[in-house]
Structures are given as structure tokens and as C-alpha cells.
Amino acid sequence: MTKGQGFGFGLGKMKELAEAFKKAQEVQQGAKQLQEELEQMEIEGSSADGSVKVVLSGNQEPLRVEISEAAIAQGAGTLSETVTAAMKDAYEKSTATMRERMEELTSGLNLPGM
């Protein structure tokens, strides 16, 4: 081993590593806060005609479904399709919200797959 080389880690590399750990801790704290915010969030999806509304938490936990009398009057088959459409709308909005918030949280990091 050449004198002064150590294990191949220069001071610059150690500083980068320390900064990476610090950023990872910040992201971890931010993720915890984001999780709490998502739990409190309500995201509403609705059918095209607005006769059915589905509300999910930001974590995609179902909170409630609102069905109008007009939707009920359309019969079971149509009601089933309308509820499914509202659920899909709520799910898509929830997924987009989660993705946007995670991108905000991890911006500036070079994480694989993010």
C-alpha cells in the first residue's frame, strides 16, 4: 500500500458519504411526516355524472362512499359500474398525489428507480 492512501477513501469521499447520510436522515424524517399527512388527507373520486363519490385517505384507505338517489334508481348493474368508475377515479387521484409528494420529498437525490 502506498503511503497516505489509506483504504482508498479520501477526505472528499468521506464528506460526500456524511452528506449522503445526512440527506437520507432528512428524507426519512420527511417520509414519516408525509405518511402522517397522507393519513389525514381526503381524496375524492367521482363517477362521470357525479352521482357517486368515493373518498379515500391519501394512503388509499376507503373512508366513505356517497350514492345519490338517481344512481340507485338506475338499477344494480349500472350502479355497480358507476361505483367502480368513482373508485377508479379516487384511486388514480390518490396515486398521483402520493407520487407527486414523494417526488417533492426526494428531489435532488439521485436514487435508482425514483
Q: Is 6 part of any domain? A: no
User: Residue 12: how many CB atoms within 10 A of its CB?
Assistant: 8
Q: Is 112 part of any domain? A: no
Q: How many domains are there within the chain?
A: 1
- Write out the residue range of the structural domain in which residue 18 sits: 11-106
Domain with residue 96: its CATH number is 3.30.1310.10
How many Å apart are CA 45 and CA 94, to the nearest integer?
Answer: 9
For the chain, which ranges sit under pLDDT 50? 1, 114
Cell triple for 64: 366513505
User: What does the pLDDT read at residue 95?
Assistant: 93
Q: Which residues on neighbouring strands pair with residue 66, listed in sequence order? A: 53
What are the pLDDT digits (tens) for 40-60? 999 999 999 999 999 999 889
User: What does the pLDDT read at residue 26?
Assistant: 79
Q: Which pairs from 29-33 meet CB under 8 Å and 24+ separation?
A: 30/105, 31/105
User: What does the pLDDT read at residue 114?
Assistant: 44
* Reported pTM: 0.69
